Structure 1
Amino acid sequence: MRYGYFLNEPKGPDPIAGLRDQITQAAEDGFSSAWLSHIFGLDAITALVAAGVQAPPIELGTAVVPTYPRHPAALAQQAMTANAALGGRFALGVGLSHQVVIENMFGYSFERPGRHMKEYLDVLVPAGRGEHVQYQGETLKADLKLSTPGAGFPVLVAALGPRMLKLAGTVADGTVLWMTGPKTVAEHVAPTIRAAAAEAGREAPRIVCALPICVTDDREGAVAKANEIFQVYGQLPSYRAMLDREGVAGPGEVGIVGDEKFVRARLEELERAGVTDFVGSVFAERERTRSLLVGAAKG
């Protein structure tokens, strides 16, 4: 299992310099990848390129860019450009986002999100390989061929339900998860996505699992803090379903929180479950937690 690091969006007048420093530190610490979310702050792709070209080589990925606001060919073009600028080190994580965001904030219809993602990937993936795409779907059309350098970047889908996991295994290169624990990965995510890939004659997909993590002697206090920081994820339907499947009440309980022995055991459990890349989102006890993750990353 490879180890990645979840970047924090820096505050202040020069956030790109802050990101560059985080990426540099992650590379020097031995992490194989660094990931940035795309919500309402920095544009993740632009920010990773601006910071990443000034930092040592490490895979840089988005977790995740919402699909609805951008035509898939336009996103493919942007991702290819990013991949070219980063020397082939870019990974594009995409996702549906949530109904409250897509409908209430952006004004798009969230009807039949599974159909939307299938049609989106039908254009995005071949366009990102530099192929001529001629496509007529119910909601998307394309007839073009991009000449952009940087073709061939991996595409990872934020997939939780069975249909999305099958798409991630048959069309994309894998999945990037959030708020999804080891039980759910072992019993639901890994079997579904691997079976889909095998049936399509494809290689085993990546399963990138990002979770809150904290090494501490005060597990109860840290879980309560995680529940406060990440409380929205206990309310959004897609993540709520994963927490329920895991059998936990809130986001803090699916996080990896405890002393060194406990945290190492949970990381080993994730690896046995089928996780190929663990991405730690450190939310407290930063020095102690990072020290354990650095040790794990270096083997």
Structure 2
Amino acid sequence: MELGIFGSSRNVSELSEQVQKAADLGYSTFWTPQIFNLDALTALAVVSSKVANIRLGTSVVPTYPRHPMMLAQQALTVNQVSAGRLDLGIGLSHKPVVEGMWGMSFDGPVGHMRDYLTILMALLHEGSISHGGNHLTSRGGIDIPADPPPVLVAALGPQMLKLVGKTADGTATWMTGPKTIQDHVVPVINEAAEKENRPKPQVVAAIPVCIHPDKEVATEYAKRDFGFYGDLPSYRAMLDREGLENSWDIAITGSFEQVAEGMQEYVDAGATQVVAAVYGPEESREETVSRLAELL
């Protein structure tokens, strides 16, 4: 099982400690979000100079507030600094954030991402672009000697999955169960890639995980941490596909053996990497991070 770990912090030194522990335990990738604390790419550039032997991923950088040329510059810079260890996860974010917090239009999200990937992938791989799209325009080039990082897009719906299969390196999912991975995500993205004679895309599945002897306690923490995701349309659609009424029911909880079995279901469904988003009481979080490394 290729196993990643999810983490975040308001402090770069603390984030570095999390990454170092993950590297020492043998996790393949440390993923961190771009939310409302540290800037993910800046933080990972610093962390990469302190911690070796682990890949570093963003899950995910929102596309709307960051032009793809600027993101290409940042990503190539981080990949140069990290000696090619960056996995660049990007995503649309959500309408309440894009419109409510940033004051930007969320109209035509698939068209926005199509323009975004056209520009981003060209700049990462070729260094220049001339594209005038309906949503984004870019004309020019960048010169940064670094390998292009894999680009993973938070794609869940069929249109986005088809787009990503044709143009990017894979998808990074959240709030998506193994049945949906197997019956929806994997076949749609793989078919799109195959039609373009592209390699089979990565499917990186992040899931809430808690090793705890009392499932009721773990469930209460899951309700607190993940309850609001069910109100976001893209995640609600994935939960409905999975047959789950509550967003917290996606979490894998119980004994080590039960959690290991639940994570293996994602691998069997076609996920190329499973990422543990560890939650729960502090003592169980520490145990979960350490015990899951036994699956490596």
The question of a shared fold, defined as TM-score above 0.5 by the shorter chain, is answered with yes
Matched, 1:161 2:157: yes
Aligned equivalents of 1:233, 1:73: Cα separation in 2: 30
Q: Could you tell me which runs of 5 or more consecutive residues in structure 2 were left unpaired when the two chains were aligned.
A: none
Q: 1:29 aligns with which of 1, 5, 25?
A: 25
Conserved? CA contact 2:25–2:290, under 8 Å: no
Aligned equivalents of 2:220, 2:182: Cα separation in 1: 26
Matched residues, percent identical?
A: 45
TM-score, normalisation: structure 2: 0.96
Aligned positions of 1:133-148 closer than 5 A: 133-148=129-144
The count of corresponding residues between Structure 1 and Structure 2 is 293
Which residue does the alignment assign to 2:3? 3
Which residue does the alignment assign to 2:72? 76
Following superposition, the deviation at residue 149 of structure 1 comes to 2.2
Which residue does the alignment assign to 2:218? 222
Q: Which amino acid aligns with 1:295?
A: E
Matched, 1:274 2:258: no
Aligned equivalents of 1:227, 1:270: Cα separation in 2: 22
Aligned equivalents of 2:45, 2:127: Cα separation in 1: 24
Following superposition, the deviation at residue 154 of structure 1 comes to 0.6
Report the secondary structure of 2:189's partner residue: helix
Offset from partner CA, 1:249-294 (integer Å, 9 cap, x none): 2222101111122112111111110011111011021133123311
Report the secondary structure of 1:192's partner residue: helix
Q: Could you tell me which runs of 5 or more consecutive residues in structure 1 were left unpaired when the two chains were aligned.
A: none
Q: Let me know the Cα RMSD of the aligned residues.
A: 1.1
Which residue does the alignment assign to 2:286? 287
Identify the range of structure 1 (73-82 vs 211-220) with the bigger mean alpha-carbon deviation: 211-220
Report the secondary structure of 2:100's partner residue: coil
Matched, 1:178 2:177: no
Q: 2:42 aligns with which of 36, 40, 46?
A: 46
Please list every run of at least 4 consecutive aligned residues from structure 1 whose deviation after the TM superposition is greater than 3 angstroms. none
Identify the range of structure 1 (79-88 vs 124-133) with the bigger mean alpha-carbon deviation: 124-133
Aligned equivalents of 1:287, 1:67: Cα separation in 2: 33
Offset from partner CA, 1:17-37 (integer Å, 9 cap, x none): 111111111111000000000
Q: Which amino acid aligns with 2:92?
A: L
Offset from partner CA, 1:120-175 (integer Å, 9 cap, x none): 00000110113321111112111112101223111000000001111221100000
Aligned equivalents of 1:4, 1:54: Cα separation in 2: 19
Conserved? CA contact 1:130–1:146, under 8 Å: no
TM-score, normalisation: structure 1: 0.95
